[in-house]
Chain A
Amino acid sequence: MTEKYTPTEEAALQLEIAELMVQALNLDVSAAEIQPDEPLYGNGLGLDSIDILEVALVVSKRYGLQLKADSEDNHRIFGSLRSLTEYVAAHKTR
């Protein structure tokens, strides 16, 4: 089971995920520059489905979870850094 996260823990997790993302994709921005509510996909950070698969892989290994598209929208989890962090917080096993 996953426990609840305090705001501080969630912020730390958010930054950690942003760093994984910057590293995996060789992004031109620093982790702290990624706005939590800015879209990751399309306009915004500009990721596409190729990036999303790469990030999903890194995140699944780091946190011991498998991402799943719960709807026909594959990219809902990647709506923003915040939504990705929430997904990871809810599903992580390590």
Chain B
Amino acid sequence: MATSPLLSHTSLSDTVAWRGNAPVSVAQFLRDATYLAERLPAGRHVLNVCRDRYRFAVGLAAAMMTDKVSLLPPTHTPETVQQLQLFAADVFCLHDSEQCDIALPQLPYPAIPDAFPLEARIPHIDIEQVVSIVFTSGSTGMPMPHPKTWGGLVRNVRAQAEQLGLKSGVSHAIVGTVPPQHMYGFESTVLLPLQSANALCSAQPFYPADICETLDAITMPRLLVSTPLHLRTLLEAGLPLPRVEMVLSATAMLSPQLAQAVESGFNAPLLEIYGCTETGQIATRRTTRTLEWSLFPNVRLVSREGGVWAEGGHVEHPVALNDKIELTGAGRFLLHGRLQDLINIAGKRSSLAHLNVQLTAIPGVVDGAFYMPDEVSHDHVTRLAACVVAPGLDAKTLLKALRERIDPVFLPRPLLFVDALPRNSTGKLPREALKNLIENRFNRDAA
């Protein structure tokens, strides 16, 4: 059986995490994982919603050590949680909040006694073991599972470490403003530090001042893993920026202007990361130097069947990409936005088809459709609009029902009530017609 170590640190005294300003050694981390592993219920599937990234990582490690699978759905709405239970009836929820309202059997993250013995051995995990299943929202209403083996994930983040030049022997602390429960944060803020002998950080700082404070508390070279939204608000806040060695950004494309401002502000390189749930990360670019993306070593893009596919390297099965891609040379490409119908808001993915299914499934909704306005600015988040025919419902009731089904970032603004949708004779709803309807109504209201 081929195996790969849970973490790539070579000494039990190496720092593997920071909790606030306190470093945590490999031996302590493994102790906590062992303690938790011994207390996990019998079910094979874990929904790990710990907000504290250290606890999330301990939960992930404990699950791996007991051959359990961590489920990473795109959102935690009641509807999605129900669907997860259909997918895996034995799923339980590991959480660290005072009050967790997820309707699954719950395991609160335990207080781990200091007296529990330190671990003296780094566990090895079968590379064929499925350690997590990441879900995308799918287009039919059911989340689509994407199983991830340990070997695949390890290859993925080791390629990332190489691409970022993190193998220099200097240990870094990786601070993330993104949650560990989505693919980007899972890879870049949890697996990357574990598999490149670096340190993860428990905090998920939110406000600009929190980000600066979290970075300042760590006495080690630092990396910041973030998004265009967090980076823009951080720079606009005008605070003195702590020193970092590198900034990573993903979830949406940065404008070259913001990329330049980030590099000048931090006096450090900014790398954007490209990837998706199905492939994991596959390319980076230094946006201030070039708009071309460079693929990870061994990953290839090929044009086939009218689309562009990613394959090779850590990508175990070829994946058709959902973006408009122009291949520009060996291992290089340009991105020209999403394919029609697909939505990406602040890193959360969905499709108009899926959202329309959810909208029209609400009792009282006769017809309805979401609309994605043309993007106004790169660094600002563009929101969806929706038109709905629902004579018996008011906006409040409808939004409440929608909130049970879809992630809040997709909630429509504005939500327009109309008598009928401008469908053509074949029942199709042309985007232009919907656009006119929404813009006319908006202009009329504004006038």
A contacts, CB < 8 Å to B: 26, 28, 42-43, 46, 48-50, 53-54, 56-57, 60-61, 66-69, 72, 74
Contact = CB atoms under 8 A, between A and B. Distances in A.
B414 A66 contact: no
Nearest to B230: A53
A48 B409 contact: yes
A50 B381 contact: yes
Contacts of B400: 43
A66 to B, nearest CB: 4
Nearest to B445: A28
Given A48-B409, A53-B233, A54-B233, A66 B381 contact: no
A50 B209 contact: no
25 contacts: A28-B413, A42-B403, A42-B408, A43-B400, A43-B403, A46-B408, A48-B409, A49-B206, A53-B206, A53-B207, A53-B230, A54-B233, A56-B207, A56-B233, A57-B236, A57-B237, A60-B208, A66-B239, A67-B207, A67-B209, A68-B213, A69-B205, A69-B207, A72-B52, A72-B97
Which 9 residue pairs spanning A and B have beta carbons closest together?
A: A66-B209, A74-B206, A48-B408, A67-B207, A53-B233, A57-B233, A68-B209, A50-B381, A69-B206
Contacts of B233: 53-54, 56-57
Given A46-B408, A53-B230, A66-B239, 11 more contacts: A43-B403, A46-B399, A46-B403, A50-B229, A50-B381, A56-B233, A57-B233, A66-B207, A67-B207, A69-B207, A69-B210
B403 A74 contact: no
A50 B382 CA distance: 11
Contacts of B52: 72
Nearest to A48: B408
Contacts of A74: 206-207
A14 B210 CA distance: 25
A64 to B, nearest CB: 11
Interface residues of B, number: 26
A81 B389 CA distance: 32
Interface in B399-443: 399-400, 403, 408-409, 411, 413-414
A57 B52 CA distance: 24
A50 B409 contact: yes
A69 B206 CA distance: 7
Contact of A68 (B210, B229, B230, B346): B210
A53 to B, nearest CB: 5
A60 B207 CA distance: 10
A54 B206 CA distance: 12
A49 to B, nearest CB: 7
Interface in B332-390: 346, 381
Given A46-B399, A48-B409, A28 B414 contact: yes
Nearest to B177: A53
B51 interface: yes
Most chain B CB within a 10 A radius of its CB, from A26, A53, A60: A53
A72 B51 contact: yes
Contacts of B209: 66-68
Contacts of A53: 206-207, 229-230, 233
A26 B380 CA distance: 13
Contacts of B236: 57, 61
Most chain A CB within a 10 A radius of its CB, from B230, B381, B399, B408: B408
Nearest to A28: B414
Nearest to B206: A74
B157 to A, nearest CB: 26
B171 to A, nearest CB: 26
A24 B281 CA distance: 34
A53 B36 CA distance: 35
Contact of A66 (B51, B208, B413): B208
A42 B408 CA distance: 8
Nearest to B203: A72
Nearest to B380: A54
A72 B206 CA distance: 10
Contacts of A49: 206
Contacts of B237: 57, 60, 66
A61 B239 CA distance: 11
B66 to A, nearest CB: 27
A49 B346 CA distance: 10
Contacts of A42: 403, 408
Nearest to A54: B233
A88 to B, nearest CB: 14
A61 B409 CA distance: 25
A53 B178 CA distance: 13
Contacts of A72: 51-52, 97
Nearest to B238: A61
